[in-house]
């Protein structure tokens, strides 16, 4: 640990790094920022270089469950346990959008990606998605400077009644596919144990990849066509896409509840209850 940020009496539920502007090379004097979501519904922005909180906002009435920056770092998207999504400006501290489409179900994922201005026939410079624990995924096209936020697609994945003896259902997880334009990947509790590749252009599932169990975490490599999937039985799987023999690893001592590729795609960070592992991927 090289720096310690200020302590809060509230519980920190989620974190996200502020993205670096396109074309800007990192330097020692660069001021890095982290945004954090808390159990009291607040969103707090911290300066890593100065180890201090710079901004505190209160856009939610419930605990935060997901948070991210827009692709240019000019907006913060936050999701709560009550399913409310808020879009706030770290420059002004004001919340400019409140979306209740997922109301009633905790937000499990928020993700933004850049897009061409006329992709999918809607205006806006980026796409973003929200997934909630009731197996719903909404996809939006946004132009924050023009105060535009338009629903592009709404997905709802079927599932059987919850099995007896299972304390909590596997999370609903979704991510834009870095190597396949206009496609998102979804995993979650459903009729089958599988990863679904859905085309936003064709409005249909393109293919399915069978899984050994319901996934508990998901990350797609930004550098090569494969994904990392965590499971409840301590298993981590690296899955080539669209097809290929998966590689399974059992280095964890509990459910692999988090996995995330580095921007280079050469390292993978995974976490379980009492272990955080960093994987080297020389072939990536």
Separation between Cα atoms, residue 280 and residue 242, nearest integer Å: 22
Tokens of 250: 């059992």
Separation between Cα atoms, residue 74 and residue 91, nearest integer Å: 8
Q: What is the pLDDT of residue 8?
A: 59
Tokens of 200: 């936003």
The 10 Å CB-count burial string (b at 16+, else e) for 152-182 is: bbebebebeeeeeeeeeebbbbbbbbbebee
Q: What is the pLDDT of residue 125?
A: 84
Q: What is the pLDDT of residue 169?
A: 86
Q: What is the pTM of this model?
A: 0.90
Q: How high is the mean pLDDT in each 10-residue block of the chain (284 residues)?
A: 59 90 52 89 91 94 96 95 97 95 97 79 87 96 88 93 68 95 94 96 95 96 94 93 90 90 90 88 68
Q: Percentage helix, strand, coil, to 5, in the chain?
A: 0, 45, 50
Q: What is the pLDDT of residue 275?
A: 86
Is 148 in contact with 165 (CB distance < 8 Å)?
Answer: no
User: In which residue are the tokens 């800007």 written?
Assistant: 24
Tokens of 189: 């509790």
Each residue of 225-250: pLDDT tens digit? Answer: 999 999 998 999 999 998 889 999 98
Q: What is the pLDDT of residue 10?
A: 80
């Amino acid at each position: 640990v090289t720096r310690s940020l200020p302590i809060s009496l509230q519980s920190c539920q989620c974190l996200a790094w502020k993205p670096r502007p396109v074309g800007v090379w990192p330097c020692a004097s660069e001021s890095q920022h982290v945004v954090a979501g808390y159990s009291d519904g607040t969103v707090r922005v911290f300066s890593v270089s100065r180890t201090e909180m710079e901004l505190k906002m209160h856009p939610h009435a419930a605990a935060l469950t997901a948070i991210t920056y827009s692709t240019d770092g000019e907006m913060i998207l936050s999701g709560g346990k009550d399913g409310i999504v808020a879009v706030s400006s770290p420059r002004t501290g004001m919340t400019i959008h409140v979306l209740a489409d997922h109301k009633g179900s905790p937000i499990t994922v928020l993700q933004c990606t850049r897009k061409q201005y006329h992709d999918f026939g809607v205006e806006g410079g980026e796409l973003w998605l929200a997934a909630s624990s009731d197996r719903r995924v909404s996809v939006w096209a946004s132009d924050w400077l023009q105060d535009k936020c338009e629903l592009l697609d709404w997905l709802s994945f079927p599932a059987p009644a919850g099995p007896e003896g299972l304390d909590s259902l596997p999370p609903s997880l979704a991510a834009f596919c870095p190597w396949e334009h206009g496609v998102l990947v979804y995993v979650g509790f459903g009729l089958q144990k599988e990863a679904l590749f859905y085309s936003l252009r064709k409005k249909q599932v393109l293919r399915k990849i069978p899984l050994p169990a319901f996934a508990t975490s998901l990350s797609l490599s930004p550098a090569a066509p494969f994904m990392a999937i965590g499971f409840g039985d301590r298993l981590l799987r690296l899955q080539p896409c669209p097809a290929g023999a998966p590689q399974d690893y059992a280095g964890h001592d509990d459910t692999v509840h988090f996995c995330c590729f580095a921007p280079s795609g050469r390292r993978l960070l995974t976490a379980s209850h009492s272990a955080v592992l960093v994987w080297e991927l020389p072939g990536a």
